[in-house]
Structure 1
């Protein structure tokens, strides 16, 4: 999985998900979700330009907020029977300047990964079961950026640098930094505009076309491949709002755990309150 969360949030997330369990010989006994199926053609520039239009009309958050609603997943594996289920989770993080906050994690409805091929848009639904409700005291939530960020390009660069973006980033570097930022902040549409432009300007992305994400939302995809070819990340941009609403990681080189082409993690933001219930 990505290193999205920090401090106690990472601890809470790790206790809430049952990840893949492997046999003593190291052979994987779990399947993974099926890849999203993209259609159509576009360029990265066209996706970003279309997102700018949608952002101007979407009426998103008017100010950054220390509140994040997200969806992700893990495995529940029975080693003896060699059966596995994909177990999505839905989460709400609320935190304050003093490092206090609350993380609530709700179990998703599990499913057999073999059934995901025909039902990508319906993979993440809430079971209503709260599996973690962690109240954090002042100072227990840690972050590299705790002050409200501004809306300019320089503001976003400063924030992303705090989250690990180098001075001369690739598109993958930009994506990695804003993935961490979006796990801690709900940003404005103006800030999403700057993130998209920074990602486009850094280069290295491949436009994939359009699809429906795992919450049933229409999105465009931009893929960034690691320099060593080990994995790729797909950034999902909402066709309705223009906002960055998800990132998925795929293994490109087979190993003892995953076959080439396996989706090993996804993270989606802007999850609706209705979905969380």
Structure 2
């Protein structure tokens, strides 16, 4: 119970000392934090009983999504689907230190193009697990567009760009079932946001300001660990598509951060080439993929480094993956 109480405190979408009014309505981000708390707890915090666990994607614009190539041939349940393979670092590639990448990003930002834009476009994959069924991968694509009156629309579609045209598995009704590629899971328009706290406010373009901004995104009064920093970055990218200047600032901040090990070149799940940087956490490894020329964050992949036989996962299985696009 103590562990679950701590989980509740950490996931509180509107903490008493937070920048929002305690008796005011929840904004869109807070609602999504609360939804993740209610429906997407991790296995570590859930009692070992037979219930489905959905691994949520990082704060931020967090989404559950796809499994393609699943055809139901008269079966009443979905066939077993193994967890996807992690991205592979190209064997003959040379790792690029983050400081060098940050220098490239600074040069690329000289003309301030492209510009910062509120809104996001992300393709995401996450692993859904149960203690009585094999794990399955669920993918979705989310597009958030802001309007001139500061309202915004969010569209969530079940689709997998790796297998266009094939049925996609979704758990929108609580149980996996196939839907047509491109099936709209939700389409919602939200009124003008009353919040001007991060990540609703534009991110700063100086390293110290961005560090403080991300700390506020994480609702933390203390300096963020590298893992917490990556989580906050994912939340930022759930609201904003960074411009060249903002990407360069973020690259410099990450270059000043300990624990991110350069691995080499990878090709992400959208076919883009990037430089990979790894952070090892307890039981998982996070791999950050960045554009080698501009320093823009392309993706974030989390894999298991330890097996959990009860949930059918092995070391190396992908827990979640997000690929951000312009």
TM-score w.r.t. structure 2 length?
A: 0.62
SS at match of 2:84: coil
Contact map agreement 1:68 1:183 (CA 8 A) in 2: yes
Q: Is the 8 A contact 1:231 1:252 kept in 2?
A: yes
Number of aligned pairs?
249
Going from structure 1 to structure 2, the CA distance change for 1:171 and 1:13 (only over 3 Å counts) comes to: closer
Q: Which runs of 5+ in 1 are unaligned?
A: 113-125, 272-277
Deviation per residue, 1:135-184 (Å, 9 max, x gap): 12345889643222332223312321111266444433322221111111
Name the residue aligned to 2:254.
Answer: 199
Measured on the aligned residues, the alpha-carbon RMSD in Å equals 4.2
When Rg is computed on C-alpha atoms for both structures, the one with the higher figure is 2
- Structure 1 segment 51-200 matched on structure 2, within 5 A: 51-52=104-105, 55-56=108-109, 60-62=113-115, 64-74=116-126, 86-95=137-146, 100-109=151-160, 127-139=181-193, 144-164=198-218, 167-200=222-255
For structure 2, the 5+ residue unaligned runs are: 1-10, 12-27, 55-79, 164-179
Aligned to 2:297: 244
Partner of 1:274: none
For 2:222 and 2:134, locate their aligned partners in 1 and report how far apart those are by CA, in whole Å. Answer: 46
* 8 Å CA contact retained: 2:120, 2:241: yes
The Cα shift of 1:265 comes to 0.2
1:39-70 superposed Cα distances (whole Å, 9 cap, x missing partner): 223243365246426734797432x3221000
Task: Please state whether the residue corresponding to 1:194 is helix, strand or coil.
Answer: helix
For residues 56-94 of structure 1, the C-alpha deviation after alignment (integer angstroms, 9 at most, x for no partner) is: 4797432x32210001024689999x6776332111113
Question: In the superposition, relative to structure 1, how do residues 191 and 110 fare at CA in structure 2: closer, same or farther (>3 Å)?
Answer: closer
> TM-score if structure 1 supplies the norm length?
0.72
Name the SS of the counterpart of 1:261 in structure 2: coil
- Deviation string for 1:92-112 (max 9, x for gaps)? 113469874211011114989
After TM superposition, the structure 1 stretch with the greater mean CA deviation from structure 2, 248-257 or 206-215, is 248-257
